[in-house]
Amino acid sequence: MPHLAVERWARSSDFGPDDPIVLTVEGTHGLLIHAVTKAAAERGARAGARLTDARALDPSLVAVPADPQGDAALVQRLARWAGRWSPLVEMDGEDGLRLDVTGVAHLFGGEPGLVRDIRHRFAKTGLTSRVAVAPTAAAAWALSRHAPCICGPEVAARVAPLHVSALQLDPGIVRTLERLGLKTVAALIGVPRLALARRFRGAEDVVEALDRALGRKPEPLTAIGTDPPPRALLKLEEPATHPEAASQALERLIPAFVRELEDRRLGARRLSLTGYRVDGSVAVASVATAIPSREPRHLQRLLADKAATLNPEFGFDAFALSAEWTEDLGAAQESLVEEPSGTRELARLVDRLTVKLGPRAVQRPQAVESYLPERASGWISALAKTEPVALPSAQRPQRLLDRPEAIDVIYATPEGMPRRFMWRRAIHDIARVEGPERIAPEWWRQPSSARLRDYYRVEDADGRRYWIYREGLIGDGRGGLPAWFIHGLFG
């Protein structure tokens, strides 16, 4: 996308295409030109030059600050959107995308069809794109920037007429090569390898750049995955703006998706429905499951609510359903008579609750090895697995207040039994009491000012039982008088 910055800016402004606009960034010595419109380019402004120099050539230039972060965000959004063509997409520099189209092109009518589709869809979003297909990533980079074409096995012939800067070399090395008279890649290929290797060593390895472009050296994509995730794709003839489009697409995608999971003996743990919009943005709905599943009705039910909330805006023209996290799942029949077993039923229940109420609202207890009561009972999402932890076997209340509440207590100072306390404006006379159970602060975690707690199990005149504690001792040097709190309720 050679004119990304300018085109993105032009989309959100009301200047005409013929105005001489330059986008500027702060440089070490004043403003630098980041990108230029066509009109500005004709007047001598070019990217990389200083604004003052360009102004000297033509004072009518209009300077607007550039937004490189916004541009990067757009490229990232476009990278996700480009997932419609290939599951492996990588951002390439500031203005490029790299797609691994191995085994993908035939879905779009061969490589010419793919290139046409890409160019067409980018043009629809108002962005100029230069597309090249090549057997090596470096060659594709070079061709897309210098001579967009579809390149078969004849890489060397295609790359040869290009300027040496197409090899992704440092500008310094490019200058050196130019001074040596090696202006094109062809000239460079002509030089004996040994001589080149001797002249350019270490980081400025020209031989290596050459090898990468010509495919003599592998250059793996960083986004490469061992196995592409299970995925089902649905392309629409016309953009759908109907709010129910996503739900209907889901219904159509699920059978194919489940078939792929079945073939690969996988069950989905996390899956997402992606809607590709015509304007180059995407909408994603994701859900997670507690145990791997590939049961069509269950998956459909999980995703249906979320799919309905996807906003089509200017319309969806493609949908993909993919599983980002899968686990092995053999072909299993639970029993001869169709009766669902407990664990599977339970996992489905957890899925449904989590999807609707959120993962933080549906939890399982996960004990933590600690004597501090509020720490000992951790909660984790019900989707995760719990591990057994041994806990101190002291008597604990059935309910714990999220935050201990301060109470007023009449007690025999300094460390006597409580007699009466007031909690939430009501007085409780203590009839029976047991304690104290002393719990020291965890000095390795808490600040040194943390005070110890003496817990009492108390029963009031009505038989209601509470867990109250006195924080601190008189004269422990960590604050004033001890304070009392109520922490739990017994059943």
Count Cβ neighbours within 10 Å for each residue of 287-297 and write b for 16 or more, e otherwise: bbbbbbbbeee
| CB closer to another protein out of 48 and 342 | 342
Name residue 74's beta-bridge partners.
Answer: none
Examine residue 381 and tell whether it contacts another protein (CB under 8 A).
no
Interface of this chain with another protein, residues 117 to 176, rule: CB under 8 A: none
d(CA 115, CA 131): 6
For 394, the token pair is 């002291």
Closest approach of another protein to the CB of residue 283, in Å: 25
| CB closer to another protein out of 309 and 343 | 343
| CB 456 within 8 Å of CB 468 | yes
Examine residue 376 and tell whether it contacts another protein (CB under 8 A).
yes
* Residues ≥6 apart with Cβ < 8 Å to 392: 371, 376
Closest approach of another protein to the CB of residue 394, in Å: 9
d(CA 407, CA 469): 10
| CB closer to another protein out of 238 and 462 | 462
Examine residue 218 and tell whether it contacts another protein (CB under 8 A).
no
Examine residue 379 and tell whether it contacts another protein (CB under 8 A).
yes
| CB closer to another protein out of 261 and 299 | 299
Which residue in this structure is represented by tokens 């990468």?
212
| CB closer to another protein out of 195 and 361 | 361
Of the residues 147, 401, 452, 483, which one makes contact with another protein according to CB under 8 A: 401
d(CA 32, CA 24): 5
Of the residues 51, 362, 407, 468, which one makes contact with another protein according to CB under 8 A: 362
d(CA 178, CA 171): 10
Examine residue 425 and tell whether it contacts another protein (CB under 8 A).
no
Task: Report how many residues bind another protein under the rule CB under 8 A.
Answer: 53
Per DSSP, the three-state class of 123 is: helix
Which of the ranges 67-75, 227-235, 236-244, 345-353 carries the binding residues for another protein, by CB under 8 A? 345-353
Examine residue 377 and tell whether it contacts another protein (CB under 8 A).
yes
Half-sphere exposure of 227 (CA within 13 A, CB side): 12
Of the residues 11, 193, 356, 419, which one makes contact with another protein according to CB under 8 A: 356
Interface of this chain with another protein, residues 224 to 243, rule: CB under 8 A: none
Examine residue 344 and tell whether it contacts another protein (CB under 8 A).
yes
Dihedrals phi, psi of 384, to nearest 5 degrees: -85, 165
* Residues ≥6 apart with Cβ < 8 Å to 98: 89, 90, 91, 92, 137, 140, 141, 221
Work out whether the CA dihedral 383, 387, 392, 394 comes out positive or negative: positive
Which of the ranges 27-35, 111-119, 245-253, 375-383 carries the binding residues for another protein, by CB under 8 A? 375-383
Could you list the residues that contact another protein (CB under 8 A)? Answer: 340-346, 348-350, 352-353, 356-357, 360-365, 367, 373, 376-377, 379, 382, 391, 395-402, 423-424, 426, 431-434, 457-459, 462-465, 488-491
